[in-house]
Amino acid sequence: MSDTVQNLTRPRFEAVALVASLGGLHAISSILAALPATFPTPVVVVQHGRPDGNRDRLSRLLANVTALPVRTASAGAPLGAPGVVVVPTGYRATVRPDRTMMLTEGDPLRVGDDLLTSVAVTLGAGAIAVVLTGMLDDGAQGVRAVKRHGGRVLVQDPSTARAAGMPASAMATGCVDFVLPLERIPAALVALIMAPGGADLLRVPVASWARLHA
């Protein structure tokens, strides 16, 4: 196989980070259910909530809907192989420069910003952020960081979200590449990551009015 073909087919993205709050279980489940078992990029999932004593509860729920392997994130574990990495509800997760996970108890309303900012700094253009349904504005700071560092940002169309606050706040930054109905997000991820040349074909210039900094 030529170097050109290898470069076209090799995934250039290192992680997809899904961030959700109110209505998030349905939204996350819908996306994971539609991704193929051959999806080559780790998907990190964070959902708003408080610790309930069962660190694996969300992982077990999501494992029932996807063909991808699902594991619960743990401190010091590598981002690692393809599959779904689920942040335990109520924990703050970041990706360190050595591509390992750090977990601490933190503000349950800012877990999206924490995760997205860390993948932006660590992975740069290798990061894809996906902001899903939720109230308030968690994720808005994170998508700014992702765009500043060259990554991609997808947002659920607020009209398809149970709660429009988080998607709308992300959109208001001007740092969003695509606003899509929930059912089209999996296809967009597959096109970006798995289609030869898809990452280049689906490149969107940063809006002139984008606020890359708060």
Number of folded domains in the chain? 1
User: Does 207 reside within a domain?
Assistant: no
CB 206 within 8 A of CB 147: yes
User: Does 52 reside within a domain?
Assistant: yes
Percentage above 90 pLDDT, the chain:
78
Rounded CA-CA distance 16/44 in Å is 6
pTM of the prediction? 0.92
> Mean of the pLDDT values across residues 161-183?
97
> Mean of the pLDDT values across residues 58-83?
95
For residue 4, give both structure tokens.
């050109």
User: Does 77 reside within a domain?
Assistant: yes
Average pLDDT score over the chain: 92
Q: What is the span of the domain harbouring residue 173? A: 3-201
For residue 78, give both structure tokens.
């590598």
pLDDT tens for each residue of 127-163: 999 999 999 999 999 999 999 999 999 999 999 999 9
- State the CATH number of the domain containing residue 62: 3.40.50.180
Interior/surface letters 180-194, b for 16+ CB within 10 angstroms, e for the rest? bebeebbebbbebbb
Residue 211 pLDDT grade (very low, low, confident, very high; cuts 50, 70, 90): confident
CB 95 within 8 A of CB 57: no
User: Does 212 reside within a domain?
Assistant: no
Helix (H) or strand (E) holding 85: strand 84-86
Checking if the pLDDT of 59 tops 70, the result is: yes
Q: Cite the active site residues.
A: 21, 48, 138
User: Does 176 reside within a domain?
Assistant: yes
